[in-house]
Chain A
């Protein structure tokens, strides 16, 4: 008779005792299983969200620096260049700016390129970061294809249009070099080029543009802000058209997209010193995760519950098995006396534990999945809605990639899949194995003579 057969008989013929044991094991395993289900769903959701939003690192000043006072959100391209050429960087999301003169009036302009057909991108300023007050008053916004092609079109703010005396459909000639923005050994760009005005917008914040240039050490000032697609195309061709971004280029809140999360710290370590204070690497994915706090919290709770339950289970299972074996001391003595070897008894104990464990995994797998769903889904839904309020701290184009609470809730959905059951089985095998260590030592110490006493 095999050890498995004996184990099966032992369980089957003692239904009450083994039923109670099964109940205890199922209860603990259910706790384990639900924690595991929550953990898996949380991990999967976070991974998915990270994949969606990418590894975004924004280089920005700390907005409320006491020593420096207000700081421009622009950083010179020269400082950025080594960073964006780093091996981990896969792409760059940013609005690019150049300082130019308009040919007729010789007014200075800050010409900005964008990758986002979204006026909101230009609406915030150092002084009023949370007031999106830009709106289109005539014409239209940039189209995606204009942005991609870098068509020579331009959006002007209301006051710039008034200075230049242009309306939608007119053209403006811009270019030349911004005198004060010179570096030794580099030629300033002096060509002029023609842009068609496609829209005019109103920037309700009068402070937004005036004070930004002095912060960069520029003498002149620009009361004008333009949105231009050419600047984006120039990002690729800047040097071809004679434009030197290292001299004239400034970048507003550049967001570097990295290939992996490991790269973030490497990047910080390598370039933190070359960044001018108070500019910092802000890991946007961290901010996104902060927005998704409830998932993170659930995941942490699940991790804690899981490790705690495993520890408790090992202790409880050990005690139960020891207790059962104590009662079965005589039975084991009989096996020894009729010639069974210790390994045969150990195999039987293992088989019994495995049978109970297999039932428990089946039952608790389902129960745990159900419990996890009930426990976490409503909580997630509720908290995600609350978390929405924190979203304003994220740039629009990152926000655009962020799923809605409904989508996140769906992503998070707790599922009964093979990997979950396999992982649960693995955890149970380890837990039960550890729980049989003491009992097995106990068996090894028994001798057949024991039954005679």
Chain B
């Protein structure tokens, strides 16, 4: 059984008089230990799809199951808290907190960690103790992103979802991030789902899902 099963999921946004279909009868499976990327034109609905699989919005048409259980049955709050970690397109860190505090804010919820664990987690992502205790406003874009990733990992979820994590990072940083996602998937057995515009990120994934700009369906490319 796949970790995450997407079954006949459709999604529409109201658009003027009528509706615009973003997702149309999507059927997909996501497994543990796999690094997925989702690519597609801007405005095709990638973020919308992530919102649904991250449990941030209700699925009205079709169903999403985690470990065989519908998200609605698990409860979206519980699902978000325990099973999924999300890295947002614009990081969405709490601006007045330090990197360390941003990670701990997520940790406190499931009571899985403490300060030392948070520091260690940041350390493995290349944020040392000094930087960890600096306000996130005074961190570079790349550093902020790593804090965002650390926060997504804080509760040790099975699923890591990232929305354009390398949007405006330089090549070296991008490479490091790709390495990190690969390790998370292959060494720690996570299910990593990353939306990207970067060919480099896409080509390093195990599976590429291409979202059709108008049909609202995915096309699957298995690379490894």
A residues lining the B interface (CB < 8 Å):
1-2, 6, 9-10, 13-14, 330-331, 333-341, 344, 447-449, 451-452
The answer on a CB contact under 8 Å between A448 and B109 is no
Q: Indicate which residue in A330, A331, A340 contacts B109 across the interface (CB closer than 8 Å).
A: A340
The answer on a CB contact under 8 Å between B77 and A341 is yes
The answer on a CB contact under 8 Å between B77 and A339 is yes
Closest to A10 in B: B96
The answer on a CB contact under 8 Å between B101 and A1 is yes
Chain A residues whose CB sits within 8 angstroms of the CB of B107 once the complex forms: 1
CA of A118 to CA of B219 in the docked complex: distance in angstroms? 112
Q: Indicate which residue in B51, B57, B97, B109 contacts A344 across the interface (CB closer than 8 Å).
A: B109
Since A1-B108, A9-B101 are in contact, a sample of 15 more A-B pairs with Cβ atoms closer than 8 Å, ordered by chain A residue number, is A1-B107, A2-B108, A13-B96, A13-B97, A331-B95, A337-B80, A338-B151, A339-B80, A339-B106, A447-B56, A448-B80, A449-B51, A451-B88, A452-B51, A452-B56
The answer on a CB contact under 8 Å between B86 and A337 is yes
Q: Tell me, yes or no, whether B210 is within 8 Å of chain A by CB.
A: no
Closest to A5 in B: B108
Q: Tell me, yes or no, whether B176 is within 8 Å of chain A by CB.
A: no
Closest to B52 in A: A449
The answer on a CB contact under 8 Å between B109 and A447 is no
The answer on a CB contact under 8 Å between B57 and A451 is no
Chain B residues whose CB sits within 8 angstroms of the CB of A2 once the complex forms: 108
Chain A residues whose CB sits within 8 angstroms of the CB of B32 once the complex forms: none
Q: Tell me, yes or no, whether B94 is within 8 Å of chain A by CB.
A: yes
Q: Which B105-164 residues have a C-beta within 8 angstroms of A? A: 105-110, 135, 151, 155
Q: Tell me, yes or no, whether B92 is within 8 Å of chain A by CB.
A: yes
The answer on a CB contact under 8 Å between B105 and A339 is no
- Which of B80, B93, B107, B151 has the most chain A CB within a 10 Å cutoff? B80
Chain A residues whose CB sits within 8 angstroms of the CB of B51 once the complex forms: 449, 452
Q: Tell me, yes or no, whether B82 is within 8 Å of chain A by CB.
A: yes
Q: Which B72-103 residues have a C-beta within 8 angstroms of A? A: 77, 80-82, 86, 88, 92-97, 101
B residues lining the A interface (CB < 8 Å):
47, 51, 54, 56-57, 77, 80-82, 86, 88, 92-97, 101, 104-110, 135, 151, 155
The answer on a CB contact under 8 Å between A449 and B94 is no
Chain B residues whose CB sits within 8 angstroms of the CB of A447 once the complex forms: 56-57
Q: B132 to nearest A CB, angstroms?
A: 14
CA of A339 to CA of B78 in the docked complex: distance in angstroms? 7
CA of A6 to CA of B94 in the docked complex: distance in angstroms? 10
Q: Indicate which residue in A14, A338, A341 contacts B96 across the interface (CB closer than 8 Å).
A: A14
Chain A residues whose CB sits within 8 angstroms of the CB of B110 once the complex forms: 339
The 6 nearest A-B residue pairs measured at CB: A339-B81, A13-B96, A1-B108, A448-B56, A339-B80, A338-B106
The answer on a CB contact under 8 Å between A334 and B94 is yes
- Which of A1, A10, A447, A448 has the most chain B CB within a 10 Å cutoff? A1
Q: A352 to nearest B CB, angstroms?
A: 12
CA of A248 to CA of B56 in the docked complex: distance in angstroms? 96
CA of A320 to CA of B155 in the docked complex: distance in angstroms? 34
The answer on a CB contact under 8 Å between B109 and A9 is no
Chain B residues whose CB sits within 8 angstroms of the CB of A10 once the complex forms: 96
The answer on a CB contact under 8 Å between A339 and B109 is yes
The answer on a CB contact under 8 Å between B57 and A334 is no
CA of A13 to CA of B77 in the docked complex: distance in angstroms? 28
CA of A14 to CA of B101 in the docked complex: distance in angstroms? 15
Chain B residues whose CB sits within 8 angstroms of the CB of A335 once the complex forms: 105
Chain B residues whose CB sits within 8 angstroms of the CB of A338 once the complex forms: 80, 86, 105-106, 109, 151
Q: A450 to nearest B CB, angstroms?
A: 9
Chain A residues whose CB sits within 8 angstroms of the CB of B151 once the complex forms: 338
The answer on a CB contact under 8 Å between A449 and B105 is no
CA of A334 to CA of B103 in the docked complex: distance in angstroms? 12
